[in-house]
Structures are given as structure tokens and as C-alpha cells.
């Protein structure tokens, strides 16, 4: 989690773009009411003594890694090869990162899916054009981020403002930290996006009336036929909408016998559960669909819990 620890504090320290001002205000408020004063002092001294790339490496050596651990996203900093008492930024993590931990992992998954899509459809040259100083080579994909070229790992960050390159000359490996797309950033920071800020076009297009209803319906696994019945559309139309949601990484589908079964991915669940503006929009959209009584009861109970 070193990338987000360092870059989030750098934003708090130097100021944030307007779209993240609400996040900054809430993060500062949580810090004031926490026991993170020594953590903040340590991060400040590291950032004052090193450029961002070196600061990230320094914090990574203290916390166990660059990336968030999806298995520890609610429990704190990844502690691989580290005892719990050796995490010097745990209080800062709990105040600033933990409220968004699951969403940060989901946003990374969203970005990975986007890089994979570009890689499959346009090749490694298209990815290299997105990043400065990267030469196209045989691509591969890691668990937590897309990769372009041999021994190059791309880490998109919600808190990154400018691309950062870290080179390990001993092992011939380069890590590129780059800004997330606006869609992924909205997933990562969720309800802390400032009111009135421009919503990312891809999610605006995605959260239409029918697809919103489908996302709600798929909080429980259903077949294509059942989805079409619940959303009052034809099976072919339901299949087309499901394909779009699947390409966006929000829905996963599996064939059982002669039927396709669909359910939300972890990213789809996070989008619904951790982003109040989206869940409210989807609730309103779903309520306008002609849902059967059974489906309507389920949607009503979910929106009420939110």
C-alpha cells in the first residue's frame, strides 16, 4: 500500500485537484481525530528528504509492498514478512486509506480490465502510447495491474497526479505509477467526490435505466431468461446489456448446461455498495422498470439497506 500511503499524503500536503477537495477535507478531519500524528510526521520527513519515487520505495520497505493486499483490505497494511507491531503508518492507514480500501482494490481491478481490453484490441503499442518512456515489447498481465513490455509493471493510483517511474537496475525491472482514469478514480474515492464534479462518461453511459435495473437484479445470480423477465425486456436485449456490463467488468457469466448464469463481480458489488450517488441513481432507475413483484421486493429491500 506504499503507493497510496505516500501519494495520498502528498495530496493532503500540497493540495488536491478540485474533484477531490471533499476527499481531502474529510481525510484531514479524520487525521485530526486520530492517533496518526507520529505517522504524519514520519511521512512528512520522508517526503521532504526524497523525491516521490524514492519516498515510495522507502515506505514500501517499511510496510511490505507497493500495492494494497486484497486479502487485508479491511485489516490494514499488508504485513507479509512484517509483524503487526512493525507497521509504522497503521494509524494513518486507518484514518485515510481504510475507508476506501475495498474501493481502491476494485478500482485497480477496473483499470486492469481496461489495460487488458486495450492490450487485446490494440496491442502493446497502444499501451506504450499512454505512458511516457515505455517501449513496446511482449506484454503480460499481473494480478493487480496491467503490464506493458518486458519487466514493466503499471500501477494506476487514485492519488497520482503525474506519472512516476521507478527502475530497479539490479533486476532490470521498471514500475510505472500513473494516474487512474476518471472512472476508476470515482470508484476509488466513491462518495468523497465533490458535488457537481463532472461524472465520468463511461459510468454515466453505463448507469442507464435498464442496466441499472440489471445490476440490482444481479445481486443474486440469475439466468438470462430471468434477467429479461425481471427487467421487462426481450432475452436478446438482456443478452446485449449483459455483454456490455460484462465488458465493463461489472458482471461475470458462466454456462450451466444450456443456460447462462450471471452475477455481479467484486467490482460490480463495490460500485453498488460503496458509491451512494450511483446506488441512488440506480435505485431510481430500477424503480421505473416494470419489475415483477418478487424482483421489486428484493430491490426495495436492498435500497432500503443502503
Q: How many CB atoms lie within 10 A of CB 33?
A: 9
Supply the pLDDT for residue 239.
Answer: 92
Q: How many domains does the chain have?
A: 2
- Which of 155, 186, 217 finishes a domain? 186
Same domain, 21 and 154: yes
Among residues 159, 186, 213, the one where a domain terminates is 186
Supply the pLDDT for residue 42.
92
- Chosen domain end from 186, 217, 249: 186
User: Is 10 within a domain?
Assistant: yes
pLDDT score for 261? 94
Establish if 278 belongs to a structural domain: yes
Is there a single domain that holds both residue 150 and residue 296?
no
* Whether residue 125 sits in one domain with residue 38: yes
172 lies in the same domain as 216: no
Residue 168 has a CB neighbour count (10 Å cut-off) of 11
**Other C-beta atoms lying within 10 Å of the C-beta of residue 151:** 14
Domain that holds residue 80: 2-186
Q: Is residue 194 part of a domain?
A: no
* Per-residue pLDDT at 269: 79
pLDDT at position 85 is 44
pLDDT lower than 70: segments of the chain: 16-19, 67-87, 132-150, 169-171, 189-209, 271-306
Backbone φ and ψ of 251, nearest 5°: -135, 145
211 plus 172 within the same structural domain: no
Instruction: Say if 24 falls within a structural domain.
Output: yes
Give the model's pLDDT for residue 46: 92
For residues 166 and 278, state if they share a domain: no
Q: Tell me the pLDDT tens digit for each residue of 152-194.
A: 788 888 888 888 888 776 667 788 888 888 777 777 766 444 4
What is the pLDDT at residue 161? 84
Condensed to tens digits (0 to 9), the pLDDT of residues 89-112 reads 889 988 888 887 777 777 787 788
Q: Count Cβ atoms below 10 Å from residue 220 Cβ, excluding itself.
A: 12
Tell me: do 229 and 84 sit in the same domain: no
Residues 120 and 239 in one domain: no
In this structure, the answer to whether residues 54 and 86 fall within a common structural domain is yes
Q: Is residue 192 part of a domain?
A: no
- Closest Cα to residue 241, out of 215, 278, 273, 271? 215
CATH code of the domain containing 222: 1.10.10.10
CB 43 within 8 A of CB 4: no
The answer to whether residue 181 sits within a structural domain is yes
191 is a domain residue:
no
Beta bridge partners of residue 229, listed in sequence order:
none
Calpha distance 305→263 (Å, rounded): 20
Of 20, 204, 195, nearest in space to 100 by CA: 20
- Residue 9: its pLDDT value, please? 92
- Do 171 and 213 share a structural domain? no
181 & 205 share domain: no
The verdict on residue 166 lying in a domain is yes
Looking at the structure, do residues 115 and 167 belong to the same domain, yes or no? yes
Amino acid at each position: 500500500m506504499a503507493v497510496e500511503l505516500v501519494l495520498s499524503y502528498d495530496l493532503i500536503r500540497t493540495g488536491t485537484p478540485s474533484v477531490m477537495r471533499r476527499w481531502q477535507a474529510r481525510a484531514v478531519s479524520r487525521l485530526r481525530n486520530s492517533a496518526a500524528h507520529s505517522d504524519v510526521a514520519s511521512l512528512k520527513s520522508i517526503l521532504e528528504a526524497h523525491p516521490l519515487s524514492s519516498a515510495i520505495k522507502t515506505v514500501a520497505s517499511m510496510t511490505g509492498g507497493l500495492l494494497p493486499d486484497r486479502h487485508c483490505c479491511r485489516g490494514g497494511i499488508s504485513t507479509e514478512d512484517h509483524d503487526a507491531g512493525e507497521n509504522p503508518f497503521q494509524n494513518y492507514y486507518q484514518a485515510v486509506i481504510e475507508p476506501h480500501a475495498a474501493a481502491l482494490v476494485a478500482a485497480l481491478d477496473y483499470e486492469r480490465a481496461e489495460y487488458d481490453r486495450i492490450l487485446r484490441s490494440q496491442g502493446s503499442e497502444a499501451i506504450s502510447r499512454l505512458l511516457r518512456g515505455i517501449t513496446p515489447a511482449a506484454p503480460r498481465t499481473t494480478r493487480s495491474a496491467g503490464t506493458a513490455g518486458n519487466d514493466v509493471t503499471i500501477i494506476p493510483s487514485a492519488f497520482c497526479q503525474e506519472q512516476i517511474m521507478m527502475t530497479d537496475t539490479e533486476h532490470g525491472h521498471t514500475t510505472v505509477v500513473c494516474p487512474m482514469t476518471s472512472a476508476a478514480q470515482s470508484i476509488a474515492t466513491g462518495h468523497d467526490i465533490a458535488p457537481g464534479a463532472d461524472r465520468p462518461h463511461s459510468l454515466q453511459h453505463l448507469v442507464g435505466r435498464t442496466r441499472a435495473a440489471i445490476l440490482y437484479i444481479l445481486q443474486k445470480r440469475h439466468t438470462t431468461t430471468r434477467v429479461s423477465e425481471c427487467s421487462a425486456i426481450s432475452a436478446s436485449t438482456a443478452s446485449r446489456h449483459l455483454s456490455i456490463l460484462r465488458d465493463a467488468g461489472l458482471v461475470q457469466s458462466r454456462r450451466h448446461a444450456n443456460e447462462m448464469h450471471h452475477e455481479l463481480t467484486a467490482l460490480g458489488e463495490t460500485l453498488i455498495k460503496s458509491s451512494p450517488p450511483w446506488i441512488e441513481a440506480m435505485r431510481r432507475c430500477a424503480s421505473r422498470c416494470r419489475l415483477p413483484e418478487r424482483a421489486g421486493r428484493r430491490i426495495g429491500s436492498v435500497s432500503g439497506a443502503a
